[in-house]
Amino acid sequence: MNALRRLEGIDWVRWGLVAMPSLFAIPTAPKWTWPVIAVVAVLSLPVLLFDQVSRPPWLLPAALILLIAATGSLWVLHPNGFTSVSMFAATFSTLRSFGRITSALALLAAAATIMVWSIREQLTWVNAVALLSVLIVMILLAANRRSRVERLEQTQLALARARTASEEHARAAALAERARIARELHDVLAHSLAGLALNLQGARLMLVRDGASGEALAQIERAQKLASDGLSEARTAVAALREDVVPLERTLSDLLAAYRLDSGARADLVIEGEQRELDASVVTMVVRAVQEALSNTRKHAAGAAVDVKLLFGAEEITVTIADRQGRRPPKAPAEGYGLRGMGERVALLDGTLESGPGEDGWLIHLTVPA
């Protein structure tokens, strides 16, 4: 699991709007309403960790619905305080962050509270409609915020794709230049060194036939060895010039950003250990594994959150991919071609792959030497 981040100012403001009006009502509220205030205080705790509570997935929505009901009840029981602020704040937090069903339940609870309060206080229908219009304003504000967040994510994804396209263009140009240099090295230098080594071999044999001195033979042998070593180094340089390693972190981040935009679900990447340059085959295998896992999540657990963790060990790299379905999925009757291909790629690198149902979703765990 990810480490809890430090609480920020917005966390305290959100919690204060929900909890403090009810807590400040204690001195003037009847003692028989104190249990309701205690319930509000307990239910407000998940709000303080709003962006960190993800498991189980029903906890935060259920807490907010109950919080709306509790603060609404307190408002009806103690109408002279500011407890209505708590109810409206909890309602807005629900509308801006959750789907239709949860939002509908929140609106139903808030509207019922307003109607009960209006009847008890004998408000005119104009005042009652004015209170209900506050909920309409909240719906509009929540929809505007959702649209703004979606546009921001689309902009970030577009920037990421543009950056990736620019990097790919630059990489393609660099690869083309490296390929040209590699061809020149191979066709000119390597061929010349190979021909030189053969000529030196022939010269040595001729000197041996003609009974040349040992010093002359030694010089020829040293020159032949230098030519052979140069040829080996030239071939190594050609191989290095033709190899290009994919930037792993950037590629995985782009994959998860695309998944977030497509599904609307959370998708996080955590990297632990000391990062280092990996072999191209290892990088390609990890990218293919994450692609296959995200494809399976879209197919079998649409909308599930995804956690990807990369652990750089001393001699291996470990990758864990987990989707958070909120329940233990049934075991697949047979391994699909995607997982089978993933296992074959891991096996080619002398690694291990484990795949199966986890505590609250499907879990893939692989380790390869790196």
Share of residues in the chain with pLDDT > 90 (%):
7
Query: Cα-Cα-Cα-Cα dihedral of 304, 310, 316, 322, to 10°?
Result: -10
pLDDT: is 69 or 308 the higher one? 308
Stretch (H or E) spanning 236: helix 214-241
With 0-12 CB in 10 A as exposed, 13-18 as middle and 19+ as buried, what is 190? buried
Cβ(161)–Cβ(250) below 8 Å: no
Angstrom distance (rounded) from CA 156 to CA 84: 38
Q: pLDDT of 161-197, one tens digit each? A: 888 788 778 877 877 777 777 777 666 676 677 777 7
Structure confidence by residue, pLDDT tens digits, 304-350? 899 999 999 888 999 999 998 888 887 765 566 677 888 888 888 88
Q: Are 317 and 292 in contact (CB under 8 A)?
A: no
Domain ranges of the chain: 9-122, 164-241, 248-369
Give the global pTM: 0.43
Token reading at 335: 């391994």
Bridge partners of residue 307, in order along the sequence: 268, 322
Q: Is 1 in a helix, a strand, or coil?
A: coil
Instruction: Name residue, tokens 């609480």.
Output: 7
State whether residue 242 is helix, strand or coil: coil
The CATH class of 248-369 is alpha beta
Tokens matching residue 250: 């950037």
Single-letter amino acid code for the residue at 15 = W
pLDDT-derived band of residue 4, with 50, 70 and 90 as boundaries?
very low
Say if residues 323 and 305 touch (Cβ distance below 8 Å).
yes
Instruction: Write down the mean pLDDT value for the chain.
Output: 79
Q: Which residue intervals of 322-365 are DSSP H helices?
A: 337-348
Q: Which of 129, 55, 144 is nearest to 92 (CA)?
A: 144
Element (H, E) at 366: strand 362-369
